[in-house]
Every structure is written in C-alpha cells, then in structure tokens.
Structure 1
Amino acid sequence: MEGLDDLLNLLTRVKKNGWDNTFPDSLYDNDSKEATRLPISSGNLSTFLDAIEEARKCISALNEAQRQVGKRLRCLRRLSKPLVLEDGIKRLPDDVLAIVFELACPLIEDDPSQSAVPLSHVSRRFRSVALSCPSLWTSIYDRYGDNMIREFISRSGRLDLDVNIHSSSRMESFLKLMKDTAHRWSSLDPINCDLESLMKDLGITDLPRLRHLTYISPVELSTDTFSLPNLSQIVAMGWPPAGSYLLSNLTHVEFHILSDDMFVEDLVTTLYSMKKLKDLSFKLHRCPEENFLLSDNVTHPKAHSVHIERLAISIDGDMQGYSALFFDALMYLWPSTVELSIDSIGPEKFLVDAGGESFLFGSAIKLQIPRAFDVMTTLMNILRNCDIVETVHFDTPLAKGPTAWRRRQLRHDDWERIGSLDNLRFMNCDGFTESDITTLARNTLLPEAEQGLQSLEIISCKLISEDFLLGLHDDVGDRLKWTL
C-alpha cells in the first residue's frame, strides 16, 4: 500500500518524540529522512516538495486505513446488532418494556393491533408483558373475527376503546358484539347515516366517553336520541348541520373537501357555531369556484377577532378562485400558528384572499410547497402585512435563496424586518446555496445578542455541507442551528 512505510516511520517518530516535536514549526527541525537542514534562504524547493510528498503519502495511507477499518467496524456492528439488542432487551425491566410497547404500537396508524398481536407471539416474556398492557388492545376493527374481538375487549380491561367500522356487511354483527362496551367508546371511525340508524335500532345511543368522531356523510346525532357529552374532535367529509348542538363543544376539527362536494354554502354559519374551537384544518382537493357560495345574510365578525391555536390548510390542485373566497370566510380567525401546504402551479397565487390581501396572519407561519416558489418575495410580504409574526418556516425544495432573487437587492430595511423575527427556518430548500446561507446569516445574526434574528435554522438542505456550517457558526455564533 502506497505510503505505508512513510506512515509507519511517522508513527515511530511520534511514539519517540511526541506530536509537538514530530511537527515543529521549522521544516528543518522535522526529524524526517527526507528533510535536509539547509538554511531557508537557500530556497531549496526540493526539500519542501519532498516533505509535501511524504505528507501526501501518509495521508493516502491513513485514508486507506480509515476505509478498511471503517469497513471492518461496520461489519462488526452489523453482525453484533442482534446480540446487542437482545442483551439490551434482557436488561430492561418488564415495566419499562411495557412502556416501550405502549409507545410503539400507536405509531402504526392504520391498525395498532398489527403490532400488539405479533408482539404477543414473539416469546413467552413478550406475551406476558403484552397481555399485561391493556392499552395495546384498545383499537378494535370490524374486520376482526368474533373471537378476536372478544379477546381484545377482555384484554383492554376498562380502558377507552377506539372503534373502527369500515364494512357495511359486518356492521350489524359487529355492533351487537360491541354494544355492551359502548360506555367505553372514545373514538368512532367512521359514522354515516346507515350506522347512525342501526345504532338507534340497537339502543347504542349513550356514549359518555366519546371524544373523537369521523364521519363520511352529514348525520344529525340529535339530543333526543344520542348522548355525547364529551365529543370535542371530528374529522369530516362534509359539514355538520349548521344548527347542530354538537358544534358548540368542538375544539379540534378537520374537514376534507373534494371537487364534487356541494356543502360549502353554509361554511361560515357552521364555523361561527364552533365557540370553543382551538384547532381547525382543511384538506382541499380540486374544488371549483362555482361550488363556493357565500350567503349575503350572514353577519361576518371582524377580521382576526377570534383566537384559535392552529389553522392548517392543504391545497391540492388548481383552485385559486375557490381558495381566495375560502380564505375570505376564514379571515375572522386569529390563529397562533398557520400551516399552509400548497401543491399547485404558481403557489404564490394561493396566499391572498379575494381582495388580493395577504391571508397569512399568525405568530408562527409555516409553508410547505413542493413546487417552484419565490421564498424571498413571500417572506417580505409576510413581514410587511403581519405585524405579529415571530416565526416563519419554509419547507420548499424548489425555492431559490436571496442571492438568486431577481426582483431587486435586499436593502438594509429589508434585513431589519427579517431580523425582527425570533425564528427563521429553511427545511429541504435544495436550491439554497452556501452563498445564500452566508448572506442570510451575516445580515440577520447580528453580533449584539439583543438585536437581529434569534435563531436561523437550516434543515436538510442538500447543497449545504456541515464543514461550511461549522465555519459559519464560528463567525456568527450559536444562533445558527442546523440538522443535515
């Protein structure tokens, strides 16, 4: 291997003399077989070239050694991983292992039981721990066999149950099996008119623990029949009746609006009935403008007069006219956090209401846009139109940075506005260059700790290296943060 002898000679000198004496400041004090002790004034270039070549060979040998040892290390780690995991699991007390099981199972969103059942089949110990965790068995689906449903009910103890009904052919038999547990239901997914009618017929109307409801068609669930004192969260394919008593207690609401949905006419009245609303989200999919009809008889609250914690909107498809009118209906809200996801050509067009005014208003504004997008124009518009914003996050893979901004150069007052933020984050901004980040950091992370941006975050931007960020961090300090 090239340079191995040179590397061994170097290490021998290090062992004998230590690092400081092996590489002194003067080249001619270097105890190298290649170095001669000629006065520097002689300008003997060959001495330097020989020393450089020796160092190059040592580096080459070190790189090869690092590659080979690294390969060996990865192989050893791969082979030992099962043994390490096994040893770690054996060392875990049963109560800690139970907590791990409880945390892991809900991560499988479609069916947490797909973890619970296999876990209980791994080993005698795993089965014992799994069976001692009632929370692993609280999600029950109508596709389970009758015996499996009974087992889940038994193993879940007295905990709340998540009830999932997706097959019309199994609906009645499933409800009959679950009827005696209705007082434990905390979530029902989904309900429609047929299920509502069948629940009435079977006398499943008292649901004291029900907090979460998903429905795919408008249902009445009238107080004359149903008791739902704790219902506070819904996911809906459609609007609930505007006069429904359910609306006044809702705190978390998620609506899915499709291109053929014709129920947006009473959107405003429905939303105004939600007096306790904290979290509101919409998923809009290719909605034509003609589907949106606002009543002239509705009295609209003042803009930004009703506070909520979070407003999240996802837009899929070309529906600029619809979204502008839709934003008009939501202007009365004052959200702490606004999250806007846009997958459409010309996403900048979707940031305004019908009057052309910016819709983005909140303490924290988070934009996720997978298409080409003008980040800097949007940032400046946010700062000019929203005087309460403190945090702005961009997740924009195709966006360009400030050095590519073609409209004009950012002026001092522009940088002052950006510096007035507490936090600015760029995530997955794969078009951002290191020059862009330098420009941002040097103009916003001012030396005075009380002034300028408090945190500039760079997250997973492909063109930005850690070496660059480390060097920039040396210059601007700890307010520059990153994750690669």
Structure 2
Amino acid sequence: MPSMNITIEERTIDQLISALSRMKGKGGVVGNLSVLFLQSGEALRGDDFATYLVALRCLKSSRDALRVMLHATNDEIHVLQEKCLPFTRQRGIQSLPDDILKNVFEIGYETYDNVYWDHTFPVEVSHVNQRFRSTALCTPRIWTNLTNRMPVAQLETFISRSKATELSIFLDLWESWKDKSGNTETFFEIAKKHSDRWSSFTYQCDMPEDDDDAPNGYIHPSLSQCRHLTLPWLRTLSCKIDCNDEDDRVPNPEAIFATWNMPELNVTCCNLVFEADSDGLWDFRKLFLVLESWSHLNSLSFQISCFQYTLLVFQSSLQNLTSFNMDVGLEVDMAFITKFFSLVEMPALSSIAIAFRDERGTNVGHIIDTICTTACRYSTLEKFTLDTTRTHCAHHDILYTVASHFPFLQEVSFRGT
C-alpha cells in the first residue's frame, strides 16, 4: 500500500475499541453482531431522525477505518507470503515421501509437451538439488526416452539409469543426410542391443532437396540394415515423413517395418479418407477384410468426399469396435451412406458421430432417418452425435427421429443452423 497520511477520528477509534471490548467480553463469541456498534450503554430508541443520522455517520466512519486497516493488512499479508514462499516450497517438497516424489517426477515426465526435447527433463530435474538428484536416479521411468540427438555418453547413461524398464526410441532423421558425424549409426547400434525393451518407436525424416543426396528416396542406412528386428514389447509405431505428395522419391520405411517381429503391436484406431472422381471405385470387401483382421480395433473414422456410389456386396463384422465416425463431404452419393450401415455389424458399438459438409442445400433428413432405422440395432449404443451445420434439414424432424429410434441413449449431441 503506498505511503499516505490517513486521519481517523478519535471518536471512531474509541467506537472500534468499544466494539472489540464487547466481543472480548463475550469470549470472542458474538451471537448478535448488531450489538457491537451500539453506543456504550445506549440503544437507539424512538423515531428521532437526528439520532439515527448521528449513529449512521458513526458506523460509516467505523466502516471506512476498517477498510483502511483491511487494506493495510492485505498488503502486509502479501509481502510476508512472498517472503515465506521459497521456504514453504522447500519444506513442502522436503516433507514429501520419496515414493510420492518419484510419482511426481514420472507424471511430469509423461506430460512433458515437447517431444523433441523430452529427454532433457530428467537432466534438468536432477540438477535442482541433491535430494532431487538422488530421487531422479532412483526413478528409472524418467530415463527411458532415447533419441539420436543425444551424445553417445548421455545415451549410455540413460540406458543404465532406466534399469529394465521399457524404452521409447525416437529416430530423428531431419536433414540427417548432411550429418557426417556417424552419430545416428552409433545410436542405432547401441539402441538395438536393448530392442527387447522397446515399447515405442518413432521414425521421422524429410526429403533432401538434391537428387544426388538421395536419388531413390531417403532412408537412413542404419534403418535399412535392420530388417529383422524382434521387438517383443513394441506397442507404438510412428512414421512421420515430410515430403511433397507429388514427389516420386518418397521413402518407403514400411517395407522395413513389415519385416520386424512385433507381436504386441495392434491397430486400435483407424482414420480413412476417401476421395475419388466419378470413375473411382473402391474395393470395400478387401478393405473390411483387413479391418476385421485387426482384432484390437476400437475406433474407426471415415472421411468421404467426391465419392460416387459403389455396389456394395459384402458383409462385415467389427467385433470390438466401440466408436465410429463418418464425415460426409461434397459430391457423395448418399445411397452409399445408407447402404453402409446395413452391411457392417458392430456389436460392441457405444458411440456414433456423423457430420454432413454438403453446402449445396441437400436435405439429409431422409438419409438420417434411414441411418437411424438401420443403426438402432446396435443395442450397446450410448452416445449419438450429429452435425448438420453445413447442410439443410428440418431440425425438429431429426430430433424426433433420434429420440424414437434410440430411446436407450445416454447422451445426444446435435449441431445445426
């Protein structure tokens, strides 16, 4: 609070002291707060306006004085809190048991939002103080992210400190054809020795600008030489390639991954985008044979645009699918949409989301009614989401249709204009 001169009348001070004395006399317990500010031994009586006015002025003076005291008290509290904060933090952390502190480190590590530098987290934590260091060294899970950006000594240190926990491998080959240090080869050679602990593998690369650097697309030699790895615990495989869609030099690391033995790797989520001209035909029978072979598939999304009707003569059953999303864009033959739901069995389905993005004014009310008529056989369905903001339909009809076909739903979301 800025320094300033504030004058409080002696009468007001006496009144506040008197009020506090009454409170003290009652042992700090006041049942009726209104008696605190009555004149000593007096009570307001009658309808004397002058008496009321004097009492009102006294109370306002007391209020203003209390505001000054409250402001000064809050300022002092803020100053003291700032001074106490470092001690509070230190004592608070010191009071945590080692097991709790380990869990804090693990949660912080798992939620660290920079995939390119998350291997720096345990290093920074272990440099805070001696206790943090000793706890970090006894927390193997925060030392499990390995990347070829690490110096060899740091890589070996991380592997040693990670004990026997599962490892996440991040192979960053961004412009690595320019790297002549051989660090990537060394990294992969060391990491391969612990392939039985890999639970996650991420491969990232971009395309060189000069054909002389990579005339047939760029795949790092260290990856090309590992065509028969056995990865018993790998559950996450990610491949990120930055290139022009029209570039015929696009690398093909899938051919290498296909030779890896990964018994725990299962597809759980699939997003399919269909775009075709009027002559384009898709073999959905083969597609759904593949989808059926993924026994752990629980989420499937279709995004369809510029798509004409294809004769559907197949039956499919996705036994473990719990979530299905369909995004319908421009120039889609709606006969395909209505036919689809009658051919695919999804006995475990709990959530359906459908969005229409056809802005030509197509009335999708009949289509939605047909979909609901077919999809109501999914007795496990709990959630239905519909988005018609970019198309035309009668909203009251849709709400009635959904309510009449799905009386067992727990959640319905509808967006429309």
| Corresponding residue of 1:230 | 264
Q: 1:207 corresponds to which letter in structure 2? A: L
Q: Normalising by the residue count of structure 2, what TM-score does the alignment of the two structures yield?
A: 0.63
Q: What's the Cα RMSD here?
A: 5.2
Larger radius of gyration: 2
1:299 corresponding residue in structure 2: 314
Q: RCO greater where, 1 or 2, for CA within 8 Å and sep 6 or more?
A: 2
In structure 2, the partner of 1:214 is 238
Distance 1:103 1:311, change over 3 A: farther
Partner Cα separation in structure 2 for residue 221 and residue 95 of structure 1: 44
Contact 2:228 / 2:261 at 8 angstroms: preserved in 1? no
Q: How many angstroms does 1:214 deviate by?
A: 1.7
| 2:134 aligned with 1:128 | yes
Map of 2:410 onto structure 1: 390
Contact 1:187 1:213 in 2 (8 A): yes
Aligned mate of 2:83, from 54, 63, 79: 79
* Maintained 8 Å contact 1:200/1:225: no
1:306-455 correspondence runs (5 A)? 306=319, 308-310=321-323, 319=329, 333=346, 335-337=349-351, 355-357=367-369, 362-364=381-383, 383=403, 386-391=406-411
Q: 1:253 aligns with which of 269, 275, 280?
A: 269
Q: Per-residue deviation at 1:116?
A: 0.7
- Secondary structure of the residue aligned to 1:104 is helix
Q: CA shift at 1:179, angstroms? A: 1.7
**Which residue does 2:23 correspond to in 1?**
14
Q: Deviations over 1:70-92 (max 9, x none)?
A: 33323322322221111122233
In structure 2, what is the equivalent of residue 144 of structure 1?
A: 150
Q: Distance in 1 between matches of 2:229 and 2:288?
A: 27
Cα 1:143–1:264 shift into 2, 3 Å: farther
Are 2:274 and 2:304, in contact at CA under 8 Å, matched by a contact in 1?
Answer: no
| CA positional deviation for 1:100 | 2.1
CA distance in 1, matches of 2:65, 2:385: 49
- Aligned-pair distance for 1:95? 3.6
Alignment partners' CA distance in 1, 2:351 and 2:152: 45
Structure-2 separation of matches of 1:113 and 1:326: 46
Amino acid at match of 2:350: S
CA distance in 2, matches of 1:80, 1:195: 56
Separation of aligned partners in 1, 2:31 and 2:121:
58
Give the AA of the match of 1:299.
F
Task: Determine which of 282, 292, 303 is the counterpart of 1:273.
Answer: 292
2:45 corresponds to 1:31: no
Unaligned runs of 5+ in 2: 1-5, 206-216, 242-251
Query: Against the structure 1 CA distance between its residues 22 and 102, is the aligned structure 2 distance closer, same or farther, given a 3 Å change threshold?
Result: closer
Is contact 2:228-2:259 (8 Å) kept? no
User: Distance in 2 between the 1:66 and 1:328 partners?
Assistant: 72
Give identity over the alignment, percent: 20
The farther-off stretch of 352-361 and 102-111 is 352-361
* DSSP-derived class of the 1:165 partner: strand
Structure-2 change in CA distance of 1:356 and 1:121 (3 Å)? same
Q: Which amino acid aligns with 1:289?
A: S
Shift of 1:182: 1.6
Corresponding position of 2:105? 101
After the TM superposition, which of the residue ranges 162-171 and 110-119 deviates more from structure 2?
162-171
SS of equivalent residue, structure 1 residue 215: strand
Residues 226 and 256 of structure 2 are in contact (CA less than 8 Å); yes or no, is this contact kept in structure 1? no
Shift in CA distance, 38/151, structure 1 to aligned 2, threshold 3 Å: closer
Q: CA deviation at 1:118?
A: 0.8
Q: Structure 1, residues 145-193: CA drift from partner, whole Å, max 9, x if none? A: 2222222222222221111123152755542332212221111113799
Measure the CA separation in 1 of the matches of 2:338 and 2:76.
58
- What TM-score do you get using the length of structure 1 for normalisation? 0.56
In the aligned structure 2, how far is the partner of 1:270 from the partner of 1:198? Answer: 34
Cα pair 1:191 1:213 within 8 Å, conserved: no
